[in-house]
Amino acid sequence: MITLTQLEYIVAVDTYRHFGKAAESCFITQPTLSMQIKKLEEDLEIIIFDRSKQPLIPTDVGTRIIEQARVVLKQSDEINNIVKDHKNQVSGMLRIGIIPTLAPYLLPIFVGNYKKKYPNIFIKVVEATTDNIVKLLNKDLIDVGILVTPLHDEKIIEKPVFYEEMLIYANSGHKLHTQEKITVQDIATPEIWLLSDGHCFRDQVINLCSYMGTADSNLPFHFEAGSLETLMNIVDREGGITLIPELAKATMSQKRAYNVKNFTNMKPLREVSLVYSRHFSKHKLINLLWKEIKESIPKELQDENRGTIVEWR
């Protein structure tokens, strides 16, 4: 008979692709984990993991079994959640993944109040790019992601929270400071600084202005940053422009906010959502998280019709 424990073990090995690390994550010894997986393989008369490869990988049939095991384990968790809901209990662990262009501006707004309201929820937050958050969701290493949508991924459920404007951040000596009208075409220039590959905000900027790079850049050196704060510091010192999301402006000093400009021909928006697997089991916790963020964000940012959503995929 297949046990939930055995399913937890094969999922752990698939996640870490290493018996020792998987055993550590399950708080058991490696021989115990290996023995249970071997017994499962013998009972099913199939091989789940190809141990000849390093790192080890699942066999074709093993991959299918592991995918189903993840579903079964999540559905098993749902039984506990049903009982908690019946008893009106709000507790458990909520593992959150959030993208770097949101984390420093959004987390401080809601996470403290969320924790105070629900002290029995243990919150673990990891900062990662969108692609990595999706991978973590698929491997059940996090419960929910906070990122920019749409993803166009049928395995992921998207729950939009707010819509923030994409703004221009320009050096104080840049021509945009005195320019009465600023269009999207004005930022399609070699003077624009971009985040590095992997950041969805970079792809949104490229989609917005159709800027794909040029050999005759007017910038003093080539640089792709990993954070918006770094980009703004570079703009302050070296010149040029970059784009920032609306929440970034809220934490700025008045002096730095002077460098923020709006487009006059359109209001480009990015849609920020909670995303989670279709087999997600912690529905109550995520609904409370969604509600807390909504209550913490200005009402005008919750209006989808305030501008034009710019996709990044």
7 close to 69: Cβ distance less than 8 angstroms: yes
Q: Give pLDDT tens digits for 279-306.
A: 766 788 888 999 999 999 999 999 999 9
| pLDDT for the residue numbered 191 | 86
Task: Report the chain's mean pLDDT, rounded to a whole number.
Answer: 87
Q: Do domains 89-161+270-309 and 164-268 have the same CATH topology?
A: yes
Q: Give pLDDT tens digits for 34-87.
A: 999 999 998 899 999 988 878 888 999 999 999 898 888 888 877 776 776 656
% of the chain residues with pLDDT over 70: 91
Across the strands, what pairs with 160?
Answer: 273
Selecting from 1.20.120.160, 3.90.1580.10, 2.60.120.200, 1.10.10.10, what CATH number does the domain 4-85 have? 1.10.10.10
Q: Which of 120, 130, 127, 133 is nearest to 284 (CA)?
A: 120
193 close to 242: Cβ distance less than 8 angstroms: yes
CATH topology classification for 164-268: D-Maltodextrin-Binding Protein; domain 2 (3.40.190)
| pLDDT for the residue numbered 226 | 80
Residue 190 Ramachandran class (φ > 0 left, ψ -120 to 50 alpha, else beta): alpha
| pLDDT for the residue numbered 214 | 40
pLDDT at 122 over 70: yes
Selecting from 3.40.190.10, 3.40.50.880, 3.50.50.60, 3.40.50.300, what CATH number does the domain 89-161+270-309 have? 3.40.190.10
In degrees rounded to 5, what are phi and psi of residue 83? -65, -40
Coil, strand or helix at 206: helix
- pLDDT confidence bin for 216, thresholds 50/70/90: very low
Angle, in degrees to the nearest 10, between helices 60-86 and 283-296: 70
Q: What residue spans define the domains of the chain?
A: 4-85, 89-161+270-309, 164-268
Residue 287: count of CB within 10 angstroms of its CB:
12
Q: Which residues contact 244 (CB under 8 A, 6 or more apart)?
A: 166, 167, 168, 169, 228, 231, 232, 260
Cα–Cα distance for residue pair 114/99, rounded to 1 Å = 19
Q: Give pLDDT tens digits for 164-188.
A: 999 999 999 999 988 989 988 888 8
Coil, strand or helix at 297: coil
pLDDT at 211 over 50: no
Q: Give pLDDT tens digits for 76-119.
A: 877 776 776 656 666 788 999 999 999 999 999 999 999 899 88
